[in-house]
Amino acid sequence: MKNELLVAYRYLTNNWVQIQASNMCGCCHCLQTFPPESVVAWTGLHFDELDDPEAIKRQTALCPLCGNESVLGNGAGFPVDPDFLGRMNDAWFQRTIIRKPAAKT
């Protein structure tokens, strides 16, 4: 199992800080890339926490294109190219099992 997919998955939620530190973001659901400024919708903030900086940092980005909680920023240290996003999509959104590539024969 590729550990990086597991680690990167954690950055799809509560990722406000990572998105702010990114200069490019990608969506593991629709596989599109976009600048962090495009992320205008966030979830996870309650009305009684609007002034709480720590709560703001725990927000989760919603993809500006498909609306899913599946945004990865390159500030998290992972590539947001189509290859990596596609592998994330296969692993987490297609409900397929992560396994090593079959040995070439």
Contact residues: Zn ion, CB under 5 A: 27, 29-30, 63, 65-66
Cα 77 from Cα 3, distance rounded (Å): 14
Q: How far is the CB of 86 from Zn ion (least distance, A)?
A: 13
For Zn ion, the closer CB: 34 or 55: 34
- Cβ–Cβ < 8 Å for 73, 80: yes
Contacts (Cβ under 8 Å, ≥6 apart) of 43:
59, 60, 62, 69
For Zn ion, the closer CB: 34 or 56: 34
- Cβ–Cβ < 8 Å for 71, 61: yes
Q: How far is the CB of 25 from Zn ion (least distance, A)?
A: 10
Q: How far is the CB of 100 from Zn ion (least distance, A)?
A: 27
For Zn ion, the closer CB: 40 or 101: 40
